[in-house]
Structure 1
Amino acid sequence: MPSGPLDPRHAVVVGAGPGLGAAVARRFAREGFALTLVARTPQTLDPLAAELRAGGVAVTTVIADAADPVGFRAALLEVADRVTPAVVVYNVGLVAADDLLEASAEYLLDALAVDVVGAVTTAQVLTPGMRAAGAGTFLVTGGGPGLVPDPAHASLTLGKSALRAAVTVLHEQLAPAHVHVGSVTVVGVIAPGTSLDPDRIAEHYWRLHSEPEGAWTVDVVVDGS
């Protein structure tokens, strides 16, 4: 059940590691948001949380692994019991070179848990409060293999393709409740100082959240080629 009224200045960033997740967290922090940061390890979370807190940002950290569906859902339910966020960002993906003809079923299931099932679980747990409030933004990070299949990254291709479809479905389901669902699809390798600099990409998440209802974008493609 939703924890209470929607907090218009609270964002949850799932996958708040170094790179894009950190950049997204910093971008919302600059707009005065308190943050709940979710990642697999304290080693990932603690430096970012310390940096943000030093700048006066209210930060809560949560350890959760999307590869563990049961534990992941339990951790998110604790978040939902504490806050109804205005913004949720799912920025998680398993980027690995693999072969569809050689990958085991167990490996593919684990990859799909991270790439797409975790995003759906996050929506299931954290958007009910948004629906009750009649407002909110749910964003995910897509990838180039979701647009053009990449045989060298087979599991990521399956995951990002399924994630793209999930975003379309979730948008259709949640838009009538005034909840904006969208994705930022990054084509290429994210790296500071390039056209796919994390800070530049993070700006798209803020723009999607800022779009007025009636002019909502479902997917923004950021192509570094």
Structure 2
Amino acid sequence: MSGAVIIGAGPGIGRSVALRFAREGMPVALVARTGKTVRAVAEAVAPSGVRVVSLTADSADETALRAALDAAADEFGPPDVVVYNAAIIQPDSPGELSVRAHQDAWVVNVVGALTAAAQVAPAMARRGSGSFILTGGMPEPEPRYVSLSLGKAGVRALVTLLDKEYGPSGVHVATVTVAGPVAPGTAFDPDDIAEHYWRLHTQPRHRWEREVVHSGPTVTGEATLATATTQDAGGDRR
């Protein structure tokens, strides 16, 4: 069995998604920006008994991110599923950030996902199967979170583009849109959110959804893209 790769394997959604896939017996490759972060998640996953590979890479560093994905492929072969969960989550109002700060946020929130897809999706397409799932948010743009709102809008556009490019070859491209702040024990518990990633990965092709919206007590899945919201506390590049 090939494995699952979690990019942005932080203490929120990333950790919960890694645990969810490990529970199914899938090997897991974890990618985070610092060794401390990735080790903490690896320790949480280890009791499941699956093979765990810990890798460090900043999703804004194309060379490092591609190298990490290559290392994961060397361990497991072309992955069955890649989850892109990295994000810069910061409050900022219109005009507050410098151009450079907006560029830095955009690279992590959107371009890193494109880099990852360009690295792994062609092999999935040649194989005729695989899932590439992104963590989305901000169903409605929020003036208090300008850079994140722009980034999550970019994620929705990227999912559409990747689906058109690789979907016909058997790659399921989708996003889990989280419409609220992620925290254990709340309506936005990361363990509950993680169930969406597993469900999307295991959907039969004739029932593929391109977006699932987690909006609290009720969860809706939509075959066409809805608009996005949130402060995704699971996004990680630490």
- Return the TM-score normalized by structure 2: 0.87
Alignment counterpart, residue 23 of structure 2, candidates 3, 8, 30: 30
Matches within 5 A, 1:107-126: 107-126=101-120
Q: CA deviation at 1:58?
A: 0.3
Q: CA deviation at 1:9?
A: 4.0
Deviations 1:121-142 (A, max 9, x none): 1100011211111000110000
Deviations 1:77-97 (A, max 9, x none): 343454200010001111101
1:181 maps to 2:170: no
Alpha carbons 2:22, 2:48 under 8 Å: kept: no
Alignment counterpart, residue 55 of structure 1, candidates 28, 35, 48: 48
Alignment counterpart, residue 137 of structure 1, candidates 131, 135, 139: 131
Matches within 5 A, 1:184-223: 184-223=176-215
Which residue of structure 1 lines up, in the alignment, with residue 4 of structure 2? Answer: 11
> What letter corresponds to residue 126 of structure 1 in structure 2?
V
Q: CA deviation at 1:195?
A: 1.1
Alpha carbons 1:167, 1:181 under 8 Å: kept: yes
Matched residue of 1:61: which SS?
strand
Alpha carbons 1:36, 1:60 under 8 Å: kept: yes
Alpha carbons 2:13, 2:193 under 8 Å: kept: yes
CA distance in 2, matches of 1:20, 1:223: 15
Q: Which moved further from structure 2: 12-21 or 93-102?
A: 93-102
Matched residue of 2:29: which SS?
strand
Matches within 5 A, 1:149-188: 149-188=141-180
- RMSD across aligned C-alpha pairs, in angstroms? 1.4
CA distance in 1, matches of 2:25, 2:68: 25
Which residue of structure 2 lines up, in the alignment, with residue 71 of structure 1? Answer: 64
> What letter corresponds to residue 178 of structure 2 in structure 1?
V
> What letter corresponds to residue 91 of structure 1 in structure 2?
N
CA distance in 2, matches of 1:51, 1:149: 34
Matched residue of 2:17: which SS?
helix
Matched residue of 2:82: which SS?
strand
Matched residue of 1:95: which SS?
coil
Q: Which moved further from structure 2: 76-85 or 212-221?
A: 76-85
Higher relative contact order by CA 8 Å / sep ≥ 6: 1 or 2? 2
- The unaligned stretches of length 5 or more in structure 1 are 1-7
CA distance in 1, matches of 2:154, 2:61: 19
Share of identical aligned residues, percent?
48
Deviations 1:154-183 (A, max 9, x none): 100111001111001111111110110000
Across the two proteins, how many residue pairs are aligned to each other? 216
- Return the TM-score normalized by structure 1: 0.91
> What letter corresponds to residue 116 of structure 2 in structure 1?
T
Matched residue of 1:196: which SS?
coil
Which residue of structure 1 lines up, in the alignment, with residue 79 of structure 2? Answer: 85
Q: Which moved further from structure 2: 97-106 or 215-224?
A: 97-106
Which residue of structure 2 lines up, in the alignment, with residue 102 of structure 1? Answer: 96
